[in-house]
Amino acid sequence: MKVTLKIKRFNPEADQKPHWESYPVEVEPTERLLDALHQVKWFQDGTLALRRSCAHGICGSDTMRINGGNRLACKVLMQDIVKDGGTVTVEPMLGLKVIKDLIVDLEPFFAHYRSVMPYVVNDEALPEDGRERLQSPEARERFDQGTKCILCAACTTACPSFWSNSTYVGPAAIVQAHRFIFDDRDRATDERLAVLNEQFGVWRCRTVFNCTEACPRDIPVTQLIGEVKRALATGRVE
């Protein structure tokens, strides 16, 4: 199929502000948008800058706004976003500073991630037989959803609360916190909940559900945020 990619471009070394450029490409309907972007980069205009690595939706590199919604460019097929002769619009994620073309500054995103203590804390003695700590399949299942997160930032940069104030810790960091709060091997629940109870913590969430819709890993983000809110409100982690 023949389609047009309309891409928001910004080169910090030359441009005052972003502008749109259009590129005609010919692709198979079953190709990924990432393949189409590569066609532009490799054979039409090498100056186009984007991040990508795995090309199958696991590394979280290529989140962008595709036809107005956050998606991974490697996880959408052309046939699912455009008809023959049509146009696809591609822009960088919102809410983070654009460095060049489709590349944004992720440092604030990772700073929020680090702020929720994203690691298991447990200083108790290890099992004497030198083996694994035991955990029931049910206890393991309790925090399964959050373990799927690939830190792609699609949820956080789809969130209106984050757009209006980027000091908000954001859905991705709350999902990460949830993964540890509900892991029965962890012992730092109170500290983590305290972080999320602060002014720019979990209460900034207005339950808009953009995050859940944006997640390429089908994590029920809003539900997990709700569970953290409930833990804070009731003082119980269940």
Partner 1 sequence: MTQHHQFEAVIVGAGGAGLMAALHAARSAKVAVISKLYPTRSHTGTAQGGIAAALANMEEDHWEWHMYDTVKGGDYLVDQDAAEILAREAIEAVIELEHMGLPFDRTPDGRIEQRRFGGHTAEHGKRPVMRACKSADRTGHMILQTLFQNCVKQQVTFFDEYFVADLILEDNVCRGVVAMDIASGEMHVFHAKAVMLATGGFGRMFKVTSNAHSLTGDPVAAAYRRGVPLEDMEFFQFHPTGIYRMGILLSEAARGEGGVFINGQGERFMERYAPTMKDLASRDVCSRCIYLEVKAGRGIGGKDYVYLDIRPETINRYKSAPGGRTVTAHELETKLPDIIEMMRIYQGVEPMREPVPIQPTAHYAMGGIPTDSSGRVRANEGPGFVTGLFAAGESACVSVHGANRLGTNSLVDLVVFGRRGGRAMARFCQQAAFAPLPADPQAAVVAELERIRANTGQEKAGALRAEMQAIMMDNVSVFRDAGLISAAQAKVRELKERFAHVQIDDKGRRFNTDLLEAFELGCLLDLADVTASSALARTESRGAHSREDYPQRDDANWLKHTFAFAGQPSGAGLAMGEVRLAYRPVVVTKFEPKERVY
In the complex, what is the shortest distance from the CB of residue 122 to ligand FES, in angstroms, rounded to a whole number?
31
Count CA within 13 A, CB hemisphere, residue 26: 0
Per-residue binding string, partner 1, 56-95, x by CB under 8 A, is: xxxxxx-------------x-x------------------
Residue with smaller CB distance to partner 1, 91 or 101 = 101
The partner residues of 187 in beta bridges, in order of sequence, read: none
Under rule CB under 8 A, residue 43 binds partner 1: yes
Q: How far is CA 131 from CA 40, 124, 127, 180, 185, in A?
A: 52, 14, 6, 21, 14
Q: How far is CA 160 from CA 85, 166, 218, in A?
A: 33, 10, 20
Under rule CB under 8 A, residue 130 binds partner 1: yes
**Chosen residue from 5, 25, 72, 102 binding ligand FES by CB under 6 A:** 72
Report how many residues bind partner 1 under the rule CB under 8 A.
60
Under rule CB under 6 A, residue 156 binds ligand FES: no
Distance CA 182, CA 17 (A): 44
182 close to 143: Cβ distance less than 8 angstroms? yes
The amino acid that residue 119 corresponds to is Y
**Chosen residue from 7, 9, 23, 52 binding ligand FES by CB under 6 A:** 52
Under rule CB under 6 A, residue 65 binds ligand FES: no
Distance CA 21, CA 72 (A): 20
Count CA within 13 A, CB hemisphere, residue 138: 1
The site for partner 1 (CB under 8 A) is made up of: 11-14, 30, 32, 41-43, 45-47, 49-50, 52-61, 75, 77, 99-101, 103, 106, 110, 114, 117-122, 126, 130-137, 139-140, 143-144, 147-148, 150-151, 180, 183, 185-186
The site for ligand FES (CB under 6 A) is made up of: 52-55, 57-62, 72, 74
